[in-house]
Amino acid sequence: MLSKKLTKLLLASTLTVSLLAVPVTQSTVWAAETTTSESSNSNSQQTHTLNKSYVVYGAGAADKNELNNVLAVDDNFTTLTATASDYQKYINPNGSTTNAAMVSSVAIVPTDPGSGIKVNVKKFNGNNNITKVTAQQYAMVAQMAGVTDVTITVSANREVSGESALTGVYKAIAADGVSLNEQNTQSANEMLGATNGAIEANKDDHSYPGKLMAAVGDTTKEINQQKKQGDTPTQNDIQTTFDQKLKARDIYNETKNYEQPIINALIQFNNSPISSSKDYSSHVTDTINNVKNSSGDVMNKAKQFLNSQDAREVSQQAQSWWTKFVNWIRSWF
């Protein structure tokens, strides 16, 4: 039997370990579990996060020092460059572009499990140079492609539509060791273009992009839940569901004349592996919650602690303390 004094010490020490170690190690454990699941069943697990932070400059980007300030980049970020060939690989295999046209740059920071995707579209020297794609579009489209639990910051040193910025996101995921499924990325990219018409038609309503992308997310979640139950929605099922979700968000009348391209993109999603993924519904719910009430371009301030020197030091201290504690316990027996 352990003495009362030793028992209290063990309880207090265990509580200290829990408070100190869990914030640092929880993401690591989650990432490890994801990797194991993916390797054993690639069709069941289709969503991925990052193990560290990346900044991906467009090959045609200039003023990188200023971009670093805008994107809040520091020495903890791994640097990559998105080229024209990357655009063809990840966005449009049949498209034609040049390195000079790759201007959009992105910073991607991993966040806590369950945080979904949040996107900040930042001004460059006071100018909003991302002229077409909204923060809410980036967030939901990246989620549909299989990315999750990250904060993405987008900017450009001159005016561009912003459609190529997702190239950097996909390239960062690949550099982190995961190949996103091409069917997933292509259906997601299709949604980006499909929602442009409706958003442009309602550009005076700053809450509209969030409501529309939430309705898109609601529909993909419904598709996923049906397929996990063994049912495959028909085209009519998808349209009916999407109309219901638009009405629930009170934007049906504003969207009905622009919905056919979105329906087509949802059908493409229905045919992609991620639509059957066991983990999609929970992750898309997180991102729906991020976009549904958001308006404007800034959805979150990037959390960089998990990648900072301070975090690594805390992790090392926790691991060292735990090793010493376990050895001390063993010495009693």
Nearest to 269 by CA among 261, 172, 179, 138: 261
Q: Do 138 and 130 meet the contact criterion of CB atoms below 8 Å apart?
A: no
pLDDT band, residue 323 (cuts 50/70/90): low
Percent of the chain with pLDDT over 70: 77
Torsion of CA 228, 233, 237, 238, to 10 degrees: 80
At residue 194, the pLDDT reads 97
Pick the residue with more confidence: 38 or 244? 244
Q: What is the pLDDT of residue 24?
A: 36
Residue 41 has a pLDDT of: 41
pLDDT of 150: 96
Cβ neighbours of residue 226 under 8 Å, at least 6 residues apart?
232, 233, 237
If you average pLDDT over residues 221-225, what whole number do you get? 98
Q: Is the pLDDT of residue 29 over 90?
A: no
Instruction: Count, in order, helices (H) and strands (E) of the chain.
Output: 13, 5
Select the more confidently predicted residue: 35 or 288: 288
In DSSP terms, 124 is beta-bridged to 127
- Please name the residue that has the structure tokens 């993916």: 38
pLDDT at 140: 97
pLDDT tens for 232-273 read 999 999 999 999 999 999 999 999 999 999 999 999 999 999
Specify the pLDDT at position 19.
33
Least confident among 37-41, 156-160, 243-247, 283-287: 37-41
Rounded mean pLDDT, 71-91: 95
Q: How high does pLDDT run on average in the chain?
A: 82
Residues 6+ apart with CB under 8 A from 36: none
pLDDT tens track for 89-139: 999 888 889 999 999 999 999 999 999 999 999 999 999 999 999 999 999
Rounded Cα distance between 194 and 176, Å, is: 29
Decide which of 111 and 323 is more confident: 111
Longest dimension (CA), the chain: 75
Q: How many CB atoms sit inside 10 A of residue 59's CB?
A: 20
Spatial separation of the C-alpha atoms in residues 52 and 111, rounded to whole Å: 10
Question: What is the C-alpha to C-alpha distance for residues 71 and 64, in angstroms, rounded to an integer?
Answer: 10
The per-residue pLDDT for range 141-176, each reduced to its tens digit, is 999 999 999 999 999 999 999 988 999 999 999 999
Alpha-carbon distance 304 to 53, whole Å?
8
Mean pLDDT of 168-189: 94
Q: Which of 94, 103, 93 is nearest to 63 (CA)?
A: 103
Written as six digits, the tokens of 91 are 């966005």
pLDDT at 327: 57
Q: How confident is the model at residue 295 (pLDDT cuts 50, 70, 90)?
A: confident
More confident residue, 313 or 34: 313
* Helix (H) or strand (E) segment spanning residue 81: strand 78-82
